[in-house]
Chain A
Amino acid sequence: MSDLIQSVDSPQTIACAARRLREIVQQKEIVPEAVLDIFDQWAAAMDDPGLREVPGVAFLRLWLRRGNLEPILLRELGPNSLNGGWREDGRAKLRAFPLGVVGHWPAGNIEIQPVLSLTCALLGGNACIVRVPSRLVSITGQVMEKLEEVDRTGLLIDRIVMASFDHSRMDLHEAMAQAVDGAMIWGGAEAVSQLRGLPFPHWARLLVFGPRVSAAAMDAETWGDRTERFSWCRRIARDVWQFDQQACSSPQALFLERGAGCDPKEFVEDLRQAFQEENRQHPRGEIEPALTSSISQARASWLLGNAENSALFPASPDWTILLGTGTKMPSPTQGRTLTVLEVDDLLEVVSNFDGALQTLGLGVRDAQKEERLVQAAGRRGLDRVVKVGRMHVFSSPWDGTELIRSMVRVVRHVPSRDC
């Protein structure tokens, strides 16, 4: 496994590493074109039996491909950006420069997040200090080993420091914050609130992803169609299963618009089969006892709270479907617990959304209705509206933010000489 991830115990180690990284950024420029070359090889190297089962690696391989990243770079940084060239803007010229050293605080629940986060900063020419959560040290090490294999000259490796330390070591978090020019922070409410308060330099640019929740919604024409229903259920199951429903893009609720002749109980029977099938293919290997307790609590609260509510679940905590009515987002339980709510009008659901909602997965047959839902969702703070089954397929903009552009400074040069 890669020895790139260091177990760090002192703030001085972080400060020294940051100084070295800053010197590299200031002395050796790398253009996106060179980064894309290495990323493309990295993606190919990750086609490894040992990595195939790691959640998110398939997405990471697609993400790193030139065919995916080149259009994003051109859109975010403009033409000529691939070779680090200037572009005309009237009398002025514009060019992206790195922020410098970017600190990354990925969430502990998404296996590929430490790597995904750093790729965004590297594309902008930055150097990176990544705090790798203890649970992800092994997996991140395996992925980084593949980068070491393809980056033989150390063009990117020299710009990366990966640090592992306990989440409670505030002195090390502070040292990291003081040493960076930008930060990408991912995680739950508690972690994000704590990290936002770190002593970053006043010029540091912070990019915060999460905490958010997501939902799915379907109109009656879609979910009521018996021929298509099961395949929609399979898509929903996939979205629920990935990342054990702990990602911000994981659907916590599914809203079904009422329709004549459409029975939600029939629908959830298909959903049950889809969940059982998904569970057979991707059984849990472990679970935190606290999550088991939360799942049991969610089942009981749902059924005791309203005698009209119903639910489907096995004796194990493997999955749970809670069925009822209501237009508001329920309290997220996670752990493959989906609340299915019947509603009169999906627009009413969307009108209850706020900035806490990140992604809306849709299954809507009527294009105009979908258009109205998307407009309303955008106004209410949602950042992504995608087809059900593709809720975790991200691209830039990510959470409404341009990933690469956010970690560069666009320098404007107005020539001093008169034309």
Chain B
Amino acid sequence: MSALAEIEQEIESLLMQPPYGGVPQQRRSVLLALLKKELAYACDRNPSFRNYVEHWPVDFRVADKISDLPYLPVGVFKTNPPLALVDADNVKRTLTSSATTGQTPSRVVLDAATAKRMAKGVITIIRDFIGAARRPYLVIDTPENLTAQAELGARGAAIQGLSSFATEIVCCLRTGQEGDSSLDVEKLLACAAKWKHADVLVYGFTYVIWTHLVEPLRRQGITLDIPNVRVLHSGGWKRLEQQAVTRDEFSRGVASIFGCSSDRILDFYGMVENVGVIYPDCDHGNKHVPAFAEIIVRNPLTLAPIKIGEQGLIQVCSVLPTSFPGFLLLTEDLAEVIGWDKCPCGRRGATFRFVGRLSKAEVRGCGNLEAARYQQGHGIGVA
């Protein structure tokens, strides 16, 4: 059996298990062994990646902890062409992150097998939170994000990732002539009337739900009265923080529009580079890690894993991708570790809470020229 086939078989086996059920120690041991095989495979496939791994202070082949394995900062996926382990011919889809204006988005390439695993990973996780039943799916976005595209943004990926839970899909935003989005109130009210007593799945980016659904409906004094709704949202809080909208206020606002309780609003953390893994809040406000993934929170001063109650940089680990080296990624986000096991919700493994994005360093210093100055033509700076 080839190295890749062996890896694929082991990933499939992990995907078949209950996502939050295993004994953490055993889970980590299985993951460590599989991640080592994936690193060896990636080194064979990509000489640049091999160069990085060979310079890592710990030889991954003898590492006895996942936290000792070589990890990449997520920023490396901002390069063009994207960092890949497959030939261009085998790339089925490229996912791009939702970079804000002026930033370069991350790009990760998926082959058919990784794309399939991505879908499976998301379904496994979401099923654990909302159940396996299919239901009407209301998308707080425009229909363009539902179309199959070779290059897919984070919003499109999240929307399409949930489509397997749908009996029917309705997008309630429409695109205007100038490319702006607005709420199609008539369509939305028709859905609300039709789905009044049904279990309904709703998804949208956090700020899109607030600015394109909650605010306009509030202004018009409209509520939807779909009490059995499950509203999933992601994409970060930066824009709402700028508008001084707190998480509580958001949940209450969304709940009042749908006529449901606030606990039916589910925030999840995720990123395109960590394909197939998302981290929804449980009923106790904690985030959990599925069997095919792990999370390490590192002290910025030492990069060593932190203790319970401390905050640090999030490293996400996932065995799912084989088309790009996204197994072990240091993010630009901060989290607090809540515990290593036994959350009151019953899910096992590490629990954490998202704290926020890294803020720009305040101390710039007299030696800090604009980075852009050196990024042209030197091949060193990452755009």
Which A positions have Cβ atoms within 8 angstroms of B? 107-110, 135, 186-191, 209-214, 243, 245-250, 252, 284, 286-294, 296-297, 299-307, 309-317, 326, 328-332, 334, 339, 356
Tell which of A302, A307, A334 touches B367, judged by Cβ atoms closer than 8 Å: A334
The answer for the CA separation of A303 and B52 in the assembled complex, in Å, is: 5
By CB atoms of chain B within 10 A, which of A249, A292, A299 has the most?
A: A292
Closest to A189 in B: B370
Sample of 5 more A-B contacts, CB < 8 Å, known A188-B364, A307-B51, A315-B68: A210-B366, A246-B368, A301-B75, A301-B382, A304-B52
* Chain B residues positioned under 8 Å from A284 (CB to CB): 301
**Which of B96-104, B106-114, B355-363 lies on the face that meets chain A?**
B355-363
* Chain B residues positioned under 8 Å from A107 (CB to CB): 364-366
Which B positions have Cβ atoms within 8 angstroms of A? 47-52, 55, 57-58, 68, 72-73, 75-76, 79, 83, 300-304, 312-313, 330, 332, 334, 358-371, 373-375, 378-382
In contact, B369 and A211 (Cβ under 8 angstroms): yes
Number of inter-chain CB pairs below 8 Å: 177
In contact, B366 and A292 (Cβ under 8 angstroms): no
Please give me the 6 A-B residue pairs with the lowest Cβ-Cβ distance, nearest first. Answer: A210-B366, A188-B364, A246-B365, A331-B381, A109-B365, A188-B368
The answer for the CA separation of A314 and B68 in the assembled complex, in Å, is: 12
In contact, A293 and B363 (Cβ under 8 angstroms): no
The answer for the CA separation of A314 and B58 in the assembled complex, in Å, is: 9
In contact, B381 and A289 (Cβ under 8 angstroms): no
Known: A296-B73, A297-B75, A304-B51. A331 touches B366 (CB 8 A): no
In contact, A288 and B363 (Cβ under 8 angstroms): yes
Known: A247-B365, A303-B51. A287 touches B72 (CB 8 A): no
In contact, A291 and B73 (Cβ under 8 angstroms): no
Sample (26) of A-B pairs whose CB atoms are under 8 Å apart = A107-B365, A107-B366, A108-B365, A110-B365, A135-B363, A189-B368, A212-B367, A246-B366, A289-B300, A292-B301, A293-B330, A294-B361, A296-B330, A300-B75, A301-B380, A301-B381, A301-B382, A305-B379, A305-B380, A307-B51, A316-B301, A317-B300, A317-B301, A331-B371, A332-B368, A334-B368
In contact, A246 and B55 (Cβ under 8 angstroms): no
Closest to B313 in A: A289
* Chain B residues positioned under 8 Å from A248 (CB to CB): 365-367
In contact, A332 and B75 (Cβ under 8 angstroms): no
The answer for the CA separation of A101 and B225 in the assembled complex, in Å, is: 67
The answer for the CA separation of A96 and B34 in the assembled complex, in Å, is: 75
The answer for the CA separation of A243 and B330 in the assembled complex, in Å, is: 26
Known: A306-B379, A314-B57. A187 touches B358 (CB 8 A): no
Closest to A292 in B: B300
In contact, A211 and B366 (Cβ under 8 angstroms): yes
In contact, B382 and A332 (Cβ under 8 angstroms): no
In contact, A300 and B76 (Cβ under 8 angstroms): yes
In contact, B301 and A287 (Cβ under 8 angstroms): yes
In contact, B364 and A328 (Cβ under 8 angstroms): no
The answer for the CA separation of A314 and B56 in the assembled complex, in Å, is: 8
* Chain B residues positioned under 8 Å from A302 (CB to CB): 380
The answer for the CA separation of A107 and B366 in the assembled complex, in Å, is: 6
In contact, A310 and B301 (Cβ under 8 angstroms): no
In contact, B367 and A332 (Cβ under 8 angstroms): yes
Known: A288-B363, A300-B76, A330-B380. A307 touches B47 (CB 8 A): yes
Tell which of B72, B334, B364 touches A300, judged by Cβ atoms closer than 8 Å: B72
In contact, A293 and B364 (Cβ under 8 angstroms): no
Closest to A302 in B: B380
In contact, B73 and A191 (Cβ under 8 angstroms): no
Closest approach, in angstroms, between the C-beta of A5 and any C-beta of chain B? 19
The answer for the CA separation of A239 and B359 in the assembled complex, in Å, is: 28
* Chain A residues positioned under 8 Å from B58 (CB to CB): 315
In contact, B374 and A331 (Cβ under 8 angstroms): yes
Tell which of B49, B302, B312, B366 touches A188, judged by Cβ atoms closer than 8 Å: B366
Closest approach, in angstroms, between the C-beta of B191 and any C-beta of chain A? 43
